[in-house]
Structure 1
Amino acid sequence: MIHIDGVKDNMIANNVDPFEPTHPGEVIRDELEDRGMSQRQLAKKMGMSYSVLNDIINGKRDISVEYAMMLEAALGIDADFWINMQTQYSKQMAKRDKGFLSKLENIRRVAAVL
C-alpha cells in the first residue's frame, strides 16, 4: 500500500481495487474478437481442448503458468502478462471472501501472541 502524508490511502489510485475484478479470460475473449479468431481456432493452435479454453475464457478456470506460456506462443502476448493478471484477479477475489478474511484475522491474532 502506498501512503502519502496528507492524502487518504483510499484516495491513491494504486491502493484502490477495481469495482469488479477482471478475469484474464475476458481479455482473451477481447483479443480473439479483435483478431477475428474463434475459440476453437485458438484451442487448436494451442493444442488444447476447446472446453478447457472455454472454461478459461468464461472465468471458470485459472490460467496456469503452462497455459500462460501457451498463450504467449499462440498470441505473442508475454506469459508474464497472463500470470500477473491471474494473480491479481485471484488476490482481489480472495479479498472479497469473508470466510477467508476471517481466517486471516484468526491467523494474525495467533501470530501476535507468539
Structure 2
Amino acid sequence: MKTIDIIKGIHPGKIVERELKKWNINQRQFALSLVAHPQTLGAIIKGNRRMNVDLSLKIEEKLELEEGFLMTLQVFHDIKEAKKDSAYKPDFAKLRKGIFWDTDFDKID
C-alpha cells in the first residue's frame, strides 16, 4: 500500500507539523526561511487554512518531500470535506407542520 493511500484525507498541515518535529525545526523560523508569514504557516498546521501551491513547493523543497505531495494531500482533504458537507440532508418529514405553521418547508435548503 502506498503512503498516499494511508494518509488520504489528512490535512497537509499535519504532515508539515510532523516533519518539523522530526527535523527539530522551529515553526516560526522555518516560516521566515520560506519568506512566509509565521501566522500563515501556523494556520496551515492547525488546519484552519488551505495549503497553496507556492508555499507547498517551498516547503517540499526545504523538507525534501516529493514535489506535489502536499497539494495532493490538500486535494484529498478537500474531497473528504466536500463529501462530509454534502452527506447531511435533514428529514423535514419528521417535523410536525402544525408547530411550524408559518414556515414553507419547500423553501428550506
Is the structural similarity TM-score above 0.5?
Answer: yes
Establish whether residue 78 from structure 1 lines up as the match of residue 66 from structure 2. Answer: yes
Offset of residue 68 of structure 1: 1.1
Tell me what 2:82 maps to: 94
Sequence identity (%): 27
Unaligned runs of 5+ in 2: 90-109
Please give the TM-score of this superposition, normalised by the length of structure 1: 0.66
Tell me what 1:9 maps to: none
Q: Name the CA distance, whole Å, in 1 between partners of 2:51 and 2:36.
A: 13
4+ aligned runs moved over 4 Å, structure 1 = none
Higher relative contact order (CA closer than 8 Å, sequence separation 6+): 2
Tell me what 2:44 maps to: 56
Matched-pair contact (CA < 8 Å) for 2:56–2:68 = yes
Q: 1:37 aligns with which of 21, 25, 32?
A: 25
Q: How many residues align?
A: 85
Matched-pair contact (CA < 8 Å) for 1:55–1:61 = yes
Unaligned runs of 5+ in 1: 1-12, 103-114
Letter in 2 for 1:85: L
Q: 2:53 aligns with which of 65, 73, 80?
A: 65
Letter in 1 for 2:10: T
Q: 2:16 aligns with which of 3, 14, 28?
A: 28
Matched-pair contact (CA < 8 Å) for 1:46–1:70 = yes
Offset of residue 71 of structure 1: 0.8
RMSD: 2.4
Matched-pair contact (CA < 8 Å) for 1:45–1:74 = no
| SS at structure 2 position matched to 1:21 | coil
Offset of residue 27 of structure 1: 0.7
Q: Name the CA distance, whole Å, in 2 between partners of 1:21 and 1:96.
A: 11
